[in-house]
Amino acid sequence: MICGKAECGLQYAVKRSSGAVGYCSLSIKCGTRDEAGYHTGISHFTEHTLFKGTENRSASSINSYLDKLGGELNAYTTKEEIVLHSTVLKEDLHKAGSVLMDLATRPLFPENEIETEKSVVIDEINSYKDSPGDDVYDRFEEALFKGHPLGQPILGTADSVNAITCDELHRFVKEKFLPSRMAFSIVADIDEAKMEKEVLKLVKKYFGESKSQAPTSERLLSKPEPKLFNQTVDKHNHEVNAVIGGIAPSLYEEDARLATVLMSNILGGPSANAILNDILREKKGWVYGVECSYTQYSDTGILAICLGCDKENLQKCFKAINKALARLQNEPLTERKLKSAKKQLLGQLAISSDNGETQCLSMGKSLLSFGRIASDEENNKIIESITAEEIQAIAKKIFSSENTSKLIFL
């Protein structure tokens, strides 16, 4: 792997892999938490409207350019970043990279296209009401971080989206879309040194000879004070959806973060033998689904248990969850169980990293967050060093009575 930084400040990483398919992504350090002075949801709306035309390409050209090559072009927005990414045949990587750079540096935001896209995004906002499993987690996070930028909804509201203007979009991009806030990554079966030269040519084409400039507004990492709550909202749904969780280690608390990843996987990971899945679904048949999710931000994190069940099973589920948590808090894992849990997590991570797209997106995030990409060996070493006592301490801290909140859609 080759990593570097162009003179304009844009970071990049190129990694060789096998296969005929290539992946590239442009990650921008700009998300929902960076919307101060703008209408809520502008990050997500910007991501949508970047595709509506640039100085060099029409909206229809953007939509069909990579399609004609058999490739894909996509994007997403989180609380902390906007990511544009593409999958193409490796010989078309330069074309894909050119499109991503063009979208980020030459957007037009045509008035008629903006008004049309507002209807699309508002429909997306409304569609969440038909997906209570997703909606309940978003409402949980909003309540936990109420009054803080991390508590704002990624999609915004119908009113805030309707209020976004063309001038506001241009101002947002001019202020936030700086090369010093960007990372470009490629994973493909290519010569890394040659591709690095191509990347630098591409960067020079779109950013010129400009030297790195500091962002006009730095991200303010004001650690949120969580608002504890225990709420029930009557949704009159057939299925009850619930979230139980609290504050967890941030992205930069490396050892604690990986210990939390391991504990989360043990408790409610994707495998059938995860504690909560084994009890609530496999043995009792009380839930349609249950998972433990860990979201990491720059200054905080959330560990949440999410489940859906019939109303008559809700309290039984809570009782079983509390019992499982108490056991994790009070009884250290045996050496055999801890070794097995580590082996399972390392296997999952290895399989995940074998996916080129996942690897490419992860590289971009690592560059933006840490300015480097940790090797698998580094992460594996930390995971292997985690003790049963660390798992126990994390469980006690995150799921303590003074840290745990609950939201139920009844």
Per-residue model confidence as pLDDT tens digits over 114-132: 999 999 999 999 998 788 8
Task: Identify which of 172, 161, 66 has the alpha carbon closest to the alpha carbon of residue 74.
Answer: 66
In a domain, 377, yes or no: yes
Quote the mean pLDDT of the chain.
94
- Distance CA(188)–CA(87), nearest Å, equals 10
DSSP element (H, E) containing 389? helix 388-398
- Distance CA(131)–CA(405), nearest Å, equals 21
Strand partners, 289: 308
In a domain, 13, yes or no: yes
Structurally, how many domains does the chain consist of?
A: 2
Mean pLDDT, residues 320-343: 96
pTM of the full structure: 0.93
- Distance CA(278)–CA(323), nearest Å, equals 14
Q: Tell whether 189 and 293 lie within a shared domain.
A: no
Q: Which of 207, 238, 272 is the last residue of a domain?
A: 207
Local confidence band at 236 (pLDDT 50, 70, 90 cut-offs): confident
pLDDT, position 221: 59
Is the predicted pLDDT of residue 53 greater than 70, yes or no? yes
Q: Tell whether 189 and 59 lie within a shared domain.
A: yes
pLDDT, position 254: 87
Contacts of 190 (CB under 8 A, 6+ apart): 14, 16, 22, 90, 93
Is the predicted pLDDT of residue 326 greater than 60, yes or no? yes
User: Percent of the chain, pLDDT > 70?
Assistant: 97
Q: Tell whether 117 and 243 lie within a shared domain.
A: no
Is the predicted pLDDT of residue 233 greater than 80, yes or no? yes
Domain that holds residue 331: 230-409
- Helix and strand tally (H, E) in the chain? 15, 11
pLDDT, position 224: 76
Q: Which of 175, 207, 239 is the last residue of a domain?
A: 207
In a domain, 215, yes or no: no
In a domain, 243, yes or no: yes
Mean pLDDT, residues 10-15: 98
pLDDT, position 81: 98
Q: Tell whether 325 and 392 lie within a shared domain.
A: yes
Is the predicted pLDDT of residue 216 greater than 70, yes or no? no
**CATH number of 92's domain:** 3.30.830.10
pLDDT, position 213: 60
In a domain, 219, yes or no: no
Mean pLDDT, residues 245-267: 95
